[in-house]
């Protein structure tokens, strides 16, 4: 099992500022308590706080939709935004999400996936950035992201 510090390092977490880890599964919450000894980590949105780092655990599109209202209000401009979702190989969780499928709601807000990492045997994480912060976003003839740019998957 990876140390929580190693996981957050892979997710490009910076120790300054506030972090939000939302909808945390119980087995991850235990490890998260160790990180709280070092930096402020919240599991619920606190009004008037802008977060530089979001890690949102989602099992389906409904969880994604529930997370959207606080994205625009509470994520710092170009803040680090990760959605953790169950791997297809997980024996513990079931999900219809994958790297390619299930992210329409977040894409409609102008976010695009730019990186994927494995968290553990059950969870993968997909990082999204607002299109305006992605250096070069190539588009196809239908004006849809084509996936061919330097910051994008």
> Per-block average pLDDT, block size 10, for the chain (153 residues)?
80 83 90 80 90 95 93 91 96 92 95 95 96 72 50 54
Residue 45, both tokens? 């949105």
On whether the CB atoms of residues 8 and 37 are closer than 8 A, the answer is no
Distances from the Cα of 14 to the Cα of 5, 26, 51, 91, angstroms? 11, 24, 11, 31
Compute the chain's Rg from CA coordinates. Answer: 15
Question: Closest Cα to residue 10, out of 128, 120, 119, 130?
Answer: 119
Q: How far apart are CA 38 and CA 42, in angstroms?
A: 13
pLDDT at 102: 95
User: Quick one: 103 exposed, middle or buried, by C-beta within 10 A (0-12, 13-18, 19+)?
Assistant: buried
Query: Is the backbone of residue 147 left (phi > 0), alpha (psi -120 to 50) or beta?
Result: left
Q: What is the pLDDT of residue 25?
A: 93
Q: pTM of the predicted model, to two decimals? A: 0.84
Domains of the chain, each with CATH number or no CATH? 4-133 (3.40.50.150)
Closest CA to 55 of 73, 33, 32: 32
| Residues with Cβ within 8 Å of residue 1, at least 6 apart in sequence | 31, 120
Residue 136 confidence (pLDDT): 62
């Amino acid at each position: 099992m990876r140390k929580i510090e190693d996981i957050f390092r892979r997710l490009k977490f910076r120790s300054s500022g506030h972090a939000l880890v939302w909808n945390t599964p119980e087995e991850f919450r235990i490890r998260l308590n160790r990180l709280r000894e070092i930096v402020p980590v919240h599991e619920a949105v606190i009004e008037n706080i802008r977060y530089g780092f979001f890690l949102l655990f989602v099992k389906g599109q409904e969880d994604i939709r529930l997370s959207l209202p606080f994205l625009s209000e509470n994520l710092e401009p170009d803040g680090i935004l990760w959605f953790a979702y169950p791997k297809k190989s997980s024996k513990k969780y079931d999900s219809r999400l994958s790297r390619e499928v299930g992210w329409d709601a977040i894409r409609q807000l102008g976010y695009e996936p730019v990186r994927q990492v494995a968290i553990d045997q059950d969870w993968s994480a997909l990082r999204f950035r607002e299109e305006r912060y992605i250096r070069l976003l190539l588009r196809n003839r239908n004006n849809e992201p084509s996936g061919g740019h330097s910051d994008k998957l």
